[in-house]
Chains A and B, each alone.
Chain A
């Protein structure tokens, strides 16, 4: 610590903070290589037991935040009956879930 640094703080604290945030996300992604893929399969399997839908009309997105991430599932479900001659109509099933960011749960072993 010196006199000047009191007035002119260096850029190292910014570097540290940026790295901490970035690496927290990258480690999470690394430790759960295909979380989205696994979730997608499980969610679609559960829903397909009750309604039929076109797998191509499914959107699953994960929005990562600092403390909480949001998982959004958007599925188009065709209506079973539609009046002849009219355009096909769809219902839309949307699931929103908040997923707490937890790294430890997914890490394996202590290296």
Chain B
């Protein structure tokens, strides 16, 4: 913990499943650690944990969040240090099927302890609006709302924004959770052809500040395949650079927003066809 700096609790949430919460948690957690911050990523998806797999730590899990809450293990025993980034830690979720194992007091206690040890506590929310999701956002100072430019994802994001404004500790104190929109799986050519909601459309509808735009890329899939965040596995790829920019913005740096673009020939520009 860097002295004199207060810890930030960040929730990565979306409502809808499969939009890229876990991928983004891993990518931005690693990017923060790379930028010198001491980071813990916490998996709140009890019963369906996957952050361990995306980070390549699935075989190193001994104790988990529920064990810490129940007092079976100490926090230090459950934290897994990343093998590539010494500033990055993982607190895995349990694979237990009992959703009630996550108690409100237990989560509060663990978050309070993590605040004394880390600069950033990044909570990977489960999909949905049930207990797991509301507990993941409960103590958040800031939220990243991961959204695909697609109707059901945008609708669910709007719902989640409503919960962030009512069900969090900050909201109950009359304060605001800082909300940041992260658009993932963006296809520039589809948006250009009017086949996909554009960045402007999504921003106009959700009206929260834009943190970054992550282009759809095979590098993201490849990174999960090998169990390494895309910001580590392919640090110079387009999605990794977009994640790094988003991470710097999260830290308060002024980075101009790049709308991902495809270099296309004059024929494709005229007729809007994607090169095969």
Give A residues with C-beta under 8 Å from B.
2-5, 9-13, 15-16, 18-20, 22-23, 26-27, 30, 109-111
Is the pair B272, A15 in contact by a Cβ cutoff of 8 Å?
no
Q: How far is the CB of A107 from chain B (nearest CB, A)?
A: 9
B174 CB-CB contact with A under 8 Å: yes
Query: What's the Cα separation between A19 and B204 when bound, in Å?
Result: 11
Is the pair A111, B171 in contact by a Cβ cutoff of 8 Å?
yes
Cβ-closest 7 pairs across A and B: A10-B194, A2-B272, A111-B176, A10-B195, A111-B165, A16-B201, A12-B194
Is the pair B158, A23 in contact by a Cβ cutoff of 8 Å?
yes
Which residue of the partner chain B has the closest CB to A16?
Answer: B201
Given A2-B192, A16-B205, A20-B205, list of 11 further CB < 8 A pairs?
A3-B272, A5-B193, A15-B150, A15-B201, A16-B197, A26-B155, A30-B162, A110-B176, A111-B171, A111-B177, A111-B179
Q: How far is the CB of A55 from chain B (nearest CB, A)?
A: 31
Give B residues with C-beta under 8 Å from A.
150-151, 154-155, 158-159, 162, 164-165, 171, 174, 176-177, 179, 191-198, 201, 204-205, 269-272
Is the pair A2, B270 in contact by a Cβ cutoff of 8 Å?
yes
Q: Which of B174, B176, B201 contacts A12 (CB 8 A)?
A: B201
Query: What's the Cα separation between A40 and B154 when bound, in Å?
Result: 33
Chain A positions within 8 Å of B151 at CB level: 15, 18-19
Q: How far is the CB of B261 from chain A (nearest CB, A)?
A: 14
- What are 13 A-B contacts with C-beta separation under 8 Å? A3-B271, A9-B194, A10-B195, A12-B191, A12-B197, A13-B194, A16-B205, A19-B155, A20-B205, A22-B155, A26-B155, A26-B159, A111-B171
Chain B positions within 8 Å of A4 at CB level: 193, 271-272
Q: How far is the CB of A27 from chain B (nearest CB, A)?
A: 7
Chain B positions within 8 Å of A18 at CB level: 151
Q: How far is the CB of B223 from chain A (nearest CB, A)?
A: 29
Q: How far is the CB of B5 from chain A (nearest CB, A)?
A: 25
Query: What's the Cα separation between A109 and B272 when bound, in Å?
Result: 44
Chain A positions within 8 Å of B272 at CB level: 2-5
Is the pair B194, A11 in contact by a Cβ cutoff of 8 Å?
yes
Query: What's the Cα separation between A33 and B158 when bound, in Å?
Result: 16
Query: What's the Cα separation between A18 and B177 when bound, in Å?
Result: 28
Query: What's the Cα separation between A3 and B177 when bound, in Å?
Result: 44
Is the pair A2, B269 in contact by a Cβ cutoff of 8 Å?
yes
Q: How far is the CB of B221 from chain A (nearest CB, A)?
A: 25
Chain B positions within 8 Å of A19 at CB level: 151, 154-155, 197, 205
Is the pair A26, B158 in contact by a Cβ cutoff of 8 Å?
yes
Chain A positions within 8 Å of B159 at CB level: 26, 30
Query: What's the Cα separation between A107 and B3 when bound, in Å?
Result: 39
Chain A positions within 8 Å of B176 at CB level: 109-111
Is the pair A12, B198 in contact by a Cβ cutoff of 8 Å?
yes
Chain A positions within 8 Å of B155 at CB level: 19, 22-23, 26
Which residue of the partner chain A has the closest CB to B206?
Answer: A23
Chain A positions within 8 Å of B154 at CB level: 19
Is the pair B195, A23 in contact by a Cβ cutoff of 8 Å?
no
Greatest chain B CB density within 10 A among A4, A9, A18 is at A4
Query: What's the Cα separation between A111 and B167 when bound, in Å?
Result: 13
Greatest chain B CB density within 10 A among A11, A12, A111 is at A111
Chain B positions within 8 Å of A13 at CB level: 194
Known contacts: A3-B270, A23-B155. The answer to whether A12 contacts B196 by CB under 8 A is yes
Is the pair B195, A109 in contact by a Cβ cutoff of 8 Å?
no
Is the pair A10, B193 in contact by a Cβ cutoff of 8 Å?
yes
